[in-house]
């Protein structure tokens, strides 16, 4: 029997991981609102697709969709279509796989009357075992840290092998994940950061967003807590209430650069580039995101 000396109950690690990959994606409208200004990566993925389409056209290796100027793209963890829809607008055919019905429902609502909507195919599924045929895509993309939701190395390896399976020979895999920052990961886990006042895009509630996080160096998982508290009635400095209105758990497994290169090689893919912040520069101080391109040999 638990006694007071045992302290508060410790969260179940499996439950934290389960919530860490779903909590943040249950309110899809709020997700879109929070990342409405996150656009710098979209240009990079559009450029990759354009480059591959041009290569396939000049080499004469193009598939049916090349005739329309587009290629066949699979987006892993496509969510609400932040990246998938611009790619479809460029003429590409995009298969958008995600495991969260809430995210795919919003994607479906966005494409129903969209001029490029017919080129987006939402698929409910897990990126570690995809219900998709082999050698089907010219390009697979994994934008905005989706791979950081694969918490065990076995899941990561399964996903990379799935990518190799569904790529056509000569096809490319473009991805981005955060560059682990040990200084940030080990911040005080209690202090609140990124305090932001906002109005919920659907309910109209006045809320305050804030976060803190705890890093587990053994599993390499960073457990981020996103707090949504009622905004104070009168303007004053935010003081976290004892009981938050809602806590969203977001778990991100850190992927170190050498691990990423090992996963690529282990899946039989060849690394083409591995740079920082969607530019050509090396990974190093000041870099938040690592972006990599790998290719399936012909």
Ligand X SMILES: C[S@@+](CC[C@H](N)C(=O)[O-])C[C@H]1O[C@@H](n2cnc3c(N)ncnc32)[C@H](O)[C@@H]1O
- Where along the sequence are the contacts to ligand X (CB under 6 A)? 21, 25, 77-79, 82-83, 97-100, 103, 126-128, 143-146, 149
Residue 96 pairs in a beta bridge with: 75, 122
Task: Name which of 149 and 192 has its Cβ closer to ligand X.
Answer: 149
> Rounded CA gap, 156 and 7, in Å?
35
Instruction: Tell me the residue nearest to ligand X as measured from the CB.
Output: 77
CB distance 96 to 121 below 8 Å = yes
Task: Name which of 25 and 173 has its Cβ closer to ligand X.
Answer: 25
Task: Name which of 35 and 197 has its Cβ closer to ligand X.
Answer: 35
Contacts by residues 108-117 (CB-CB < 8 Å, ≥ 24 positions apart): 110/80, 110/81, 110/85, 111/81, 111/85, 114/85, 114/88, 115/89, 116/85, 116/88, 116/89, 116/91, 117/88
Closest approach, Cβ 86 to ligand X, in A, equals: 11
> Rounded CA gap, 78 and 27, in Å?
15
Element (H, E) at 21: none
Task: Name which of 63 and 145 has its Cβ closer to ligand X.
Answer: 145
Closest approach, Cβ 56 to ligand X, in A, equals: 24
> Rounded CA gap, 94 and 73, in Å?
5
Closest approach, Cβ 104 to ligand X, in A, equals: 8
CB distance 174 to 48 below 8 Å = yes
Task: Name which of 52 and 250 has its Cβ closer to ligand X.
Answer: 250
Task: Name which of 98 and 138 has its Cβ closer to ligand X.
Answer: 98
Task: Name which of 41 and 72 has its Cβ closer to ligand X.
Answer: 41
Closest approach, Cβ 298 to ligand X, in A, equals: 28
> Rounded CA gap, 63 and 116, in Å?
19
> Rounded CA gap, 215 and 129, in Å?
28
Closest approach, Cβ 112 to ligand X, in A, equals: 19
Instruction: Give, rounded to a whole angstrom, the gap between the first and last alpha carbons of the chain.
Output: 61
CA 3 to chain centre: 41
Closest approach, Cβ 82 to ligand X, in A, equals: 4
Closest approach, Cβ 154 to ligand X, in A, equals: 13
């Amino acid at each position: 029997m638990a006694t007071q000396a045992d302290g508060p109950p410790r969260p179940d690690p499996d439950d934290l991981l389960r919530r860490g990959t779903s909590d943040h994606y249950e309110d899809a409208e709020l997700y879109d609102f929070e990342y409405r200004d996150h656009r710098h990566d979209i240009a990079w993925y559009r450029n990759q697709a354009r480059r591959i389409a041009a290569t396939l056209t000049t080499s004469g290796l193009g598939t049916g969709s090349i005739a329309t100027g587009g290629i066949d793209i699979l987006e892993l963890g496509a969510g609400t279509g932040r990246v998938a829809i611009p790619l479809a607008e460029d003429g590409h055919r995009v298969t958008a796989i995600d495991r969260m019905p809430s995210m795919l429902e919003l994607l479906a609502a966005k494409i129903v009357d969209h001029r490029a909507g017919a080129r987006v195919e939402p698929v409910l599924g897990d990126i570690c075992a995809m219900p998709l045929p082999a050698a089907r895509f010219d390009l697979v993309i994994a934008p905005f840290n989706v791979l950081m939701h694969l918490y065990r190395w076995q899941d990561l390896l399964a996903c990379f092998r799935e990518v190799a399976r569904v790529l056509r020979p000569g096809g490319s895999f473009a991805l981005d994940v955060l560059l682990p920052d040990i200084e940030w990961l080990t911040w005080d886990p209690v202090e609140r950061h990124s305090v932001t006042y906002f109005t919920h895009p659907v309910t109209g509630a006045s809320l305050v967003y804030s976060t803190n996080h705890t890093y587990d160096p053994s599993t390499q998982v960073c457990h981020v807590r996103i707090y949504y508290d009622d905004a104070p009635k009168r303007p004053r400095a935010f003081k976290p209430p004892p009981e938050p209105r809602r806590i969203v758990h977001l778990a991100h497994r850190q992927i170190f650069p050498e691990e990423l290169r090992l996963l690529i090689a282990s899946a039989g893919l060849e690394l083409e580039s591995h740079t920082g912040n969607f530019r050509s520069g090396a990974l190093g101080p000041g870099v938040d995101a690592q972006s990599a391109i790998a290719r399936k040999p012909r």
